[in-house]
Each structure stands twice: as structure tokens, then as C-alpha cells.
Amino acid sequence: MTDRPAVAVFRPADERLASAVSTLEDLGAAPVADPMLAIEPTGYSPREDADYAILTSTTGVDLAREADWDSDTATVCAIGPRTADALEAAGHTVDVVPEEYTSSGMVTALREEVDGARVEIARSDHGSSVLPDGLADAGAYVHETALYRLVRPDGSGHSADRAADGDLAAACFTSPLTVEHFLEAADARGIDDISAALEDVVVGVIGGPTRERAADLGVDVDVIPGEATFDALAEETLEAVRS
């Protein structure tokens, strides 16, 4: 293995990708930036009549801010510290950040207090059912607003070429959709068996839903970090590459 292993990262082509590339470089990797998600706003805004409002990403926060969303009457909840920081920067008071930065972690944090409450979930149109189903089971009246759609960018997939050529040490998937789009991009490029190529790649994923989707699609997962952040994913994936 080279001193600077090639590691694919699939974040949207904005500050999140730049941050991920910087993190990998600091860890001594050679980042392979291959965005698998592009943002298409829907034009909708989070409801303002909910008792609890849950934001799941910095993109959602940005779109809510652009729509002049008023959160004053809601208990504001953020999945993860970056989303919380973005909410605070936009002038909102964040009341709940779960210990585990996942949908199931948010369900655990709220399940004892949302019986009979109106809960607004504002996120992409590709969110898993874990969050709304878990809160509904706890007795909440759940409403979802799709603030944006996530689509695969044109021209994505050069990291799949590198995996097929044996020139990729690791891949860091941050959501189920990044796995789906990676496989779609590989197929569009005529790569017949990308799952086999990934057997020689250390595959790291954030969270149970991403691991489960990867398994459903025939991708073996090697690393799931203890903390659901990209920094933890990068660190633990590089540790596995070098072990």
C-alpha cells in the first residue's frame, strides 16, 4: 500500500466535499473526490405550526433560512453537530441533538416526550422511514416536508473506474443514496461487476441504514465508525486501510 492511499469520497460538490477532502489530506490520504449527490430544491419550507421541528442536514438548514422559516414556537432538533451549528448560525436555538447522530438516535432522544405532539421532519426526499416511523410509533403526529431532491450528477463515477482498475484503496459512503448512485454510475460506465471490484477496497459507511442498503446491493462493508460523522468515518477507514 502506498503512503498516501487513494480514498473515494462522494459528498455534494460544495463546502462538505471541500471539508472531506481536507480531512482526508490531513490524515495522509490521496482523496478521490467523486460527488454522487446534487441538490435540487423543491421550493417548500418547513411547517411552522409543529411542536417539534427536526432538521437533518446543513442543506436543509440553508433552504429553511432562505425561506425565512420561523422556528420560535418549536423545539428545534438537529441530527448531528454540523446541522446544529448551521441552525445556530442561522439564528435558531437548538434544543435537541441526539447522542447518536442518526435517525434512530433521534428517535431514542425523543420517544419519551412526543406522544400527542406534532412533529415536523424537514429533509430531502430520500430520507429513510426510520425517523418518521419511530416517532409515529411513539405517538407523535408526524409530517414530512421534502426541502430538496438528491440526484446523481452528470459525469460521476470516475472512482468506480479506479476501483475496477485496482487503483482505489478505500471508499467512504455517507448515505444509502451515495451507494446507490455509485453503483448506477459504475453501470453507466459499463463496469460489469463493481461489487467484485469493491472486494479489494476498504468500504466505510456512516450508519446502519447505509450499511443495510449496501448489503442489499451486494456491497460488503468493512468499517462503520462509532460516531456518525465524516471525520470519524475517514479516520477509522484509514486505520483499516493501514492495518
| Alpha-carbon span 228 to 206, nearest angstrom | 6
Distance of CA 74 to the CA centre of its chain: 24
Query: Given this model, what pLDDT does residue 207 score?
Result: 86
Confidence of residue 121 (pLDDT cuts 50, 70, 90): very high
Question: What value does the mean pLDDT take over residues 124-138?
Answer: 93
The CATH code that applies to domain 40-150 is 3.40.50.10090
Q: Average pLDDT over the chain, rounded to whole?
A: 94
Question: What value does the mean pLDDT take over residues 95-120?
Answer: 95
Confidence check: pLDDT of 160 > 50: yes
User: Which of 3.40.50.800, 3.65.10.10, 1.25.40.10, 3.40.50.10090 is the CATH number of 6-37+153-242?
Assistant: 3.40.50.10090
| Alpha-carbon span 109 to 169, nearest angstrom | 36
CA nearest neighbour of 70 among 92, 37, 52, 95: 92
CA distances from 181 to 184, 188, 217, 229, 230 (A): 5, 10, 11, 20, 18
Q: What percent of the chain has pLDDT over 90?
A: 88
> Which ranges in the chain are annotated with CATH 3.40.50.10090?
6-37+153-242, 40-150
More confident of the two residues 106 and 228:
106
Q: What percent of the chain has pLDDT over 70?
A: 99
Question: What value does the mean pLDDT take over residues 13-33?
Answer: 95
